[in-house]
């Protein structure tokens, strides 16, 4: 299985045409922030642009998506927020929005709520041989959650969950300037940054496991 993942689109989806593996991918994963404080109409526009190239999508709402975007993803049967999907021996599950920020963005959750959402999603795929966590909020104190001032602003709940469960891979986003990779135990974490800056994630999942690379 080949998976292409990206996020932090914020309505600027022109670069999807530059992703060479997109049309051939078995699955496209959107890691959150389809819109920029937008609702259903904006999200539909983004989804339509991606579906014109590849219709096989799973997605999370980000913190800058209005709650109705999360509702739309559920209605369309493509949401990973609090949901898990079994794809052969792979279990993919997720949590959207973000931990609480100073900016009161549209979709934020307490750390306790993030923990509950993660647990609910994981319960649906916990028997899978290999796990992929899609978390819009990155785990705290990693290379993927550092803002320009050098402060770590990720989620303690996401970090604690990763440390306990050790999924093979965590696809994240939210912190645009923290594009890069890190490790928490056996879990590889990848934040591709904003789509308009030209990066995405390429994943190959097969019987031997999961490999992933940050592509530019």
For the stretch 85-131, pLDDT in tens is 999 999 999 999 999 999 999 999 999 999 999 999 999 999 999 99
CB atoms under 10 Å from CB of 137, counted, come to 31
Give the per-residue pLDDT at 206.
85
- Regarding pTM above 0.95, the answer is yes
For the stretch 42-96, pLDDT in tens is 999 999 999 999 999 999 999 999 999 999 999 999 999 999 999 999 999 999 9
Q: Would the pLDDT of 148 be above 90?
A: yes
Domain count, the chain: 1
Give the per-residue pLDDT at 208.
82
Dihedral sign computed on CA atoms, order 30, 117, 175, 215: negative
Mean pLDDT value of segment 184-199? 97
| Residue 10 banded pLDDT, cuts 50, 70, 90 | very high
Dihedral sign computed on CA atoms, order 84, 58, 99, 67: negative
Looking at the chain, list the stretches that DSSP marks H as alpha helix, in order from N- to C-terminal side: 40-51, 67-75, 111-123, 156-165
> What CATH code is carried by the domain that includes residue 145?
3.60.21.10
Q: Which domain holds residue 14?
A: 2-215
């Amino acid at each position: 299985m080949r998976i292409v993942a990206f996020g932090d689109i914020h309505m600027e989806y022109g670069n999807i045409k530059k992703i060479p593996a997109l049309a051939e991918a078995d699955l496209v994963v959107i890691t959150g922030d389809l819109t920029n404080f937008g609702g259903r109409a904006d999200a539909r526009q983004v989804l339509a642009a991606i579906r014109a190239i590849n219709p096989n999508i799973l997605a999370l709402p980000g913190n800058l998506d209005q709650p109705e975007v999360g509702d739309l993803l559920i209605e369309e049967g493509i949401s990973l927020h609090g949901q898990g999907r079994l794809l052969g021996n792979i279990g993919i599950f997720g949590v959207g929005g973000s931990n609480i920020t100073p900016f009161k963005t549209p979709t934020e959750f307490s750390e306790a709520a993030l923990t509950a959402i993660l647990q609910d999603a994981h319960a649906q795929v916990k028997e899978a041989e290999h796990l992929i966590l899609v978390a819009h909020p990155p785990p705290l104190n990693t290379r993927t959650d550092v803002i320009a001032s050098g402060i770590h602003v990720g989620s303690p709940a996401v970090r604690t969950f990763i440390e306990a469960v050790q999924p093979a891979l965590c696809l994240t986003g939210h912190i645009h300037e923290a594009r890069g990779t890190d490790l928490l135990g056996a879990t590889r974490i990848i934040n591709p940054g904003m789509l308009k800056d030209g990066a995405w994630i390429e994943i190959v999942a097969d019987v031997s496991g999961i490999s992933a690379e940050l592509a530019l």
